[in-house]
Chains A and B, each alone.
Chain A
Amino acid sequence: MAVIIERKERRLIPNWRTFSTTISLGELDSSLISPIAKPDLSIEDYIEDFYENETIPFAADLISAAVVNGFTDNENVKNAAKFILDRQNQVTQTQYDISKNILSTNENSFECSIDKITIKELESCLPEQEYRLRIQQLKKHVIDFQHNSIAWVELSRCYSILGQEKQAIKSMKIAVQLAPNNRFVLRCAVRLFSHYDELELAHDILRKNNITNFDPWLMSAEISVANLRGRNSRFIKKGIDLVNSKKLSPFSITELASSIGTIELLSGNRKKSRKMFGKSLVEPNDNSLAQIKWVLNNKDKSLIDDEQINLQTKHSFEAKAISNFYDKKLIDALNNTCQWFCDMPFSKRPVIMGSGIADILDNRSLSIEFLKLGLMAHANDAQMLNNIAYYLALDNNTRDALSYLEKAKTQGTSKTKVVNICLTATDGLICFRKNKYEEGRNKYLKAIEQTTSKNDEYLHRIAILNYAREEILAKTDKIESVMQLVDKIPELDEDNHISIKKLKSEVTELYKEHKQKTSPHI
């Protein structure tokens, strides 16, 4: 049995991308909206000198001054840049590159290549060799520039993508030591530490840091981590004041407002929650969009008018995946999970969701491929190993299924109660496929019992349907009794039970076929 959509609570833990991507998304901009005074600067002398001499050094001196002080749109500067480009053999590479930048017209355009990725390119989403090469380069870089905290963060990211937890944490701790007040470093550290369930560590670097008092991006992360730890955040009131202060740009407060909105909703303050989510959606980022989509589909469907949410924000792959999934646009959702995975290859959620959607679309080999890629960052993740075993067993590859299942049982990490129930059920499935019906039945019944005691309706139904399918396929004498359980599962129209609906229709179909074969007159 597999859980195809991670049904974990979602909080505004910062998303972690490369430094350059994070900059391009605007998350490292200054939060203030006050204008800045530009010093009174001039490049007139340099222009005059260039035209009087018309040689490369004078042109280079002019473009240098222009680049430093933002005069690159000046026509004379462009002339100097052209002058340099026309003499490619006599100039340095740096002079050439800077001149080219000056004459380039689309320097500010942001084009995201991930947007165009589809599920067909899934395999190329995680170029392992490239990450290994990048690690080599970064290791050399941090030897040469030991104080470069950004490089340590990038190194940590590459390690986490390849599942090297210890190295990832060590590199990140160095980065935090080097730049204990830097937004990028702290947000990435929070994401990494949360990723490895080091919530206390993630919380400590924020709540004890003075900068959290002023930075909305850090305050948001602190509130979310505190909530995940079951603690009250002392920054909520400050956060509300900051959101209402109008001193910060709407984009700067999007995550903070969304974080507070989530806490208010969980505390039952629906009205305050709606207000906060409203503010977070004035200029949302990918994370606040994904959060509202999660809230609407898992907590409160009518909190905000879904129609008003614009998903055209950069890198909003998670929000689009959730949105398209619940709108039953499964192919689009699958492509979105693939983009989401490319964007954050260390993240488990796109893997679980992508493989689940592929299964709903009856493409089990794609499900397995997705999960195997996920194992790169989570080599021993019990849920992923279980899901692979489940899909392999469904294809009657019991030998490989058993090996994944054994690995999940013996070495598996993140073994929650839900995962343990799944492992028992998958064990049952493998037994059925190996014609050990009694053993399989016992395991399924044990799993079903566990779902009852856990009071988890979704899991309970999934377990029953999986079990029923196996009894039908095995043509045992327990079919009628298990079908009575299946009949108790209502015809759901809830969007978030799409996987149950699919399973139920499969089982019903199989049962019909079985009945037709056994009672041809019906």
Chain B
Amino acid sequence: MKDSAAHNLLGLTLKSGWKVTEKITKTANSTGAFFSVCYKAEKDGQTCFFKAFDFAKFQQISETGKQVVDIIADMTTAYKYERDLSEHCKNRHVTKVAFVIDSGEEYLNTYTFGIVPYLIFELADGDIRNRIDFSNKLDFAWKLHSLHDIAVGLQQLHNVNVSHQDLKPSNILIFNQNSKLGDLGRSMCKDIESEYNRMEYSGDWNYAPPEMMYGYYEKDWAKRVFATDCYLLGSMIVFYFAGVSMSALLCKHIPQTHRHDYWRGTFDEIKPYLIESFSNAMIEFKDSFEDDYFKSEVSQVVEQLCFPFPEQRGHPKNIVNKHGSNFNLERFITKLEVLTKKAESKIKK
């Protein structure tokens, strides 16, 4: 670390005018590439999140047997991809995503590995895990508002051919009362070449949809990736109200021998059992609500977003309609907006 420029930026004012004011350990905004070092940086009175790419890290990784040139290439690709993807979205009316607001590279000649490419993001108050309170019933309206923000953010990404793929609590960033999607680092974009585009699923396997867990991959890129995002959005709703991910809730109801890590049959063979588990998971999810109206409405949204078979996921009207995508989130956005308003008016009463 002593010999890594990326770890020694604190107190420096960079050529771009950013002053690095605080080194932060793992906290808000900190997910993403594991070869980065995070700071707070200031410029023109604005404090931002500063993500420095630690190219010296290749020394540690190369011990695992990977070629140094490959590691450096991976790092460069990751850096460029995140920067370009952010740029791609920023200019296309995407507002609910935490963007790269500046990027550049700094050279510190006193270190063996002196080049530090960096990305600067808006600084969030924290991620959803720092904000959510499962025992506070008054949080209900806020939760729905936050989920609406997430759905809008996802749809905005989908509109510009980007699939987030890694929606999870640590990637929902809080900015005052609003929520934004963070970490596009594992996103897939049809218009930008990336290794992720060749992957079936690029997100965190701990949140992966059931079809991925059981090794079933839809061949059509758009269908596969947007179905995944639908599931992840539903899973976030489950986390907000039941306090665990949809995958965890589903696994709770899957018998041991039918779990993805035990099952040796095909996805088609597990389907009847998955529906049974999913039905029971949904019954349990419904118990998370006291109010019958919200119980029914929110559960219906989750059921449609998280249906265990990707081809049956999405709003029924979109599935029936031959035109457009099954996975268009507009109807869910409207529903979440209506629910938010109802919840807010309930509080005011």
Chain A contact residues, CB within 8 Å of chain B:
19-20, 23-24, 26, 28-30, 32, 34, 36, 38-39, 41, 43, 45-46, 48-49, 52-53, 55-58, 60-61, 63-65, 67-70, 89-95, 97-98, 101, 108, 141, 144-145, 147-151, 178-179, 181-182, 184-185
CA A415 – CA B51 in complex, angstroms? 83
Q: Pick the residue among B168, B248, B255 that contacts A67 (CB under 8 A).
A: B248
> Given A36-B262, A57-B169, is A63 in contact with B244 using a C-beta cutoff of 8 Å?
yes
Q: Pick the residue among B27, B262, B284 that contacts A94 (CB under 8 A).
A: B284
B195 at the A interface (CB under 8 A): no
> Given A29-B257, A43-B206, A91-B243, is A67 in contact with B252 using a C-beta cutoff of 8 Å?
yes
Interface string of B117-131 (1 = CB under 8 A from A): 000000000001110
With A26-B257, A92-B242 known, 18 other A-B pairs at CB within 8 A are A30-B262, A30-B263, A34-B264, A45-B170, A60-B239, A61-B245, A64-B244, A65-B206, A67-B252, A91-B134, A92-B241, A92-B243, A92-B244, A95-B134, A141-B279, A149-B275, A182-B272, A182-B273
CA A454 – CA B264 in complex, angstroms? 52
User: What's the minimum C-beta distance from B226 to chain A, rounded to whole angstroms?
Assistant: 22
Q: Pick the residue among B128, B168, B213, B276 that contacts A19 (CB under 8 A).
A: B276
Which residue on A lies nearest to B129, using beta carbons? A57
CA A89 – CA B136 in complex, angstroms? 10
Name the A residues within 8 Å of B279 (CB-CB).
Answer: 141, 144-145, 148, 151
Interface string of B277-303 (1 = CB under 8 A from A): 011001111011000000000000000
Per DSSP, chain A at the interface is helix
B265 at the A interface (CB under 8 A): yes
Name the A residues within 8 Å of B283 (CB-CB).
Answer: 141
Name the A residues within 8 Å of B170 (CB-CB).
Answer: 45, 49, 61
Chain B contact residues, CB within 8 Å of chain A:
25-27, 31, 128-130, 132-135, 168-170, 205-208, 213, 239, 241-245, 247-249, 251-252, 255-259, 261-265, 268-269, 271-273, 275-276, 278-279, 282-285, 287-288
Per DSSP, chain B at the interface is helix
Q: Pick the residue among A55, A70, A89 that contacts B129 (CB under 8 A).
A: A55
Name the A residues within 8 Å of B243 (CB-CB).
Answer: 56-57, 60, 91-92, 94-95
User: What's the minimum C-beta distance from A48 to chain B, rounded to whole angstroms?
Assistant: 6
Name the B residues within 8 Å of A145 (CB-CB).
Answer: 275, 278-279, 282
User: What's the minimum C-beta distance from A106 to chain B, rounded to whole angstroms?
Assistant: 13
The answer to whether A179 and B244 touch across the interface, beta carbons within 8 angstroms, is: no
Name the A residues within 8 Å of B31 (CB-CB).
Answer: 45
Q: Pick the residue among A48, A58, A68, A179 that contacts B245 (CB under 8 A).
A: A68
CA A114 – CA B33 in complex, angstroms? 55
The answer to whether A67 and B129 touch across the interface, beta carbons within 8 angstroms, is: no
User: What's the minimum C-beta distance from A178 to chain B, rounded to whole angstroms?
Assistant: 7
Which residue on A lies nearest to B309, using beta carbons? A147
The answer to whether A150 and B288 touch across the interface, beta carbons within 8 angstroms, is: no
The answer to whether A58 and B258 touch across the interface, beta carbons within 8 angstroms, is: no
Name the A residues within 8 Å of B273 (CB-CB).
Answer: 28, 150, 182, 184
User: What's the minimum C-beta distance from B60 to chain A, rounded to whole angstroms?
Assistant: 15
The answer to whether A150 and B256 touch across the interface, beta carbons within 8 angstroms, is: no
Most chain A CB inside 10 Å of its own CB: which residue of B245, B248, B256, B263: B248
Most chain B CB inside 10 Å of its own CB: which residue of A49, A56, A68, A92: A68
Name the B residues within 8 Å of A20 (CB-CB).
Answer: 255
CA A508 – CA B86 in complex, angstroms? 100
The answer to whether A70 and B259 touch across the interface, beta carbons within 8 angstroms, is: yes
Name the B residues within 8 Å of A182 (CB-CB).
Answer: 269, 272-273
Which residue on B lies nearest to A36, using beta carbons? B264
Name the B residues within 8 Å of A38 (CB-CB).
Answer: 261
The answer to whether A57 and B128 touch across the interface, beta carbons within 8 angstroms, is: yes
User: What's the minimum C-beta distance from B116 to chain A, rounded to whole angstroms?
Assistant: 23
The answer to whether A30 and B265 touch across the interface, beta carbons within 8 angstroms, is: yes
CA A286 – CA B261 in complex, angstroms? 28
> Given A52-B25, A93-B287, is A98 in contact with B252 using a C-beta cutoff of 8 Å?
yes
CA A41 – CA B208 in complex, angstroms? 12
Name the B residues within 8 Å of A36 (CB-CB).
Answer: 261-264
User: What's the minimum C-beta distance from A480 to chain B, rounded to whole angstroms?
Assistant: 67
Which residue on A lies nearest to B281, using beta carbons? A94
The answer to whether A93 and B288 touch across the interface, beta carbons within 8 angstroms, is: yes
> Given A65-B206, A151-B276, is A95 in contact with B264 using a C-beta cutoff of 8 Å?
no
> Given A64-B239, A101-B252, A151-B279, is A95 in contact with B129 using a C-beta cutoff of 8 Å?
no
Q: What are 25 sample pairs from A and B whose C-beta atoms fall under 8 A apart?
A: A23-B255, A28-B258, A28-B273, A30-B264, A30-B265, A34-B264, A36-B261, A36-B263, A38-B261, A39-B205, A45-B26, A52-B27, A56-B134, A57-B130, A57-B134, A61-B239, A64-B245, A65-B248, A67-B252, A69-B205, A69-B206, A70-B261, A108-B256, A149-B276, A182-B269
The answer to whether A41 and B264 touch across the interface, beta carbons within 8 angstroms, is: no
Q: Pick the residue among A24, A52, A90, A179 that contacts B272 (CB under 8 A).
A: A179
> Given A55-B129, A64-B244, is A69 in contact with B272 using a C-beta cutoff of 8 Å?
no
Which residue on A lies nearest to B259, using beta carbons? A70
CA A46 – CA B264 in complex, angstroms? 28
> Given A69-B205, A179-B271, is A61 in contact with B169 using a C-beta cutoff of 8 Å?
yes
CA A400 – CA B170 in complex, angstroms? 74
> Given A55-B129, A108-B256, is A68 in contact with B251 using a C-beta cutoff of 8 Å?
yes
> Given A63-B244, A91-B134, A94-B284, is A69 in contact with B257 using a C-beta cutoff of 8 Å?
no
User: What's the minimum C-beta distance from B134 to chain A, rounded to whole angstroms?
Assistant: 5
CA A179 – CA B133 in complex, angstroms? 41
> Given A48-B26, A148-B276, is A32 in contact with B264 using a C-beta cutoff of 8 Å?
yes
The answer to whether A149 and B272 touch across the interface, beta carbons within 8 angstroms, is: yes
The answer to whether A28 and B247 touch across the interface, beta carbons within 8 angstroms, is: no
The answer to whether B257 and A23 touch across the interface, beta carbons within 8 angstroms, is: yes
Name the B residues within 8 Å of A150 (CB-CB).
Answer: 272-273, 275-276
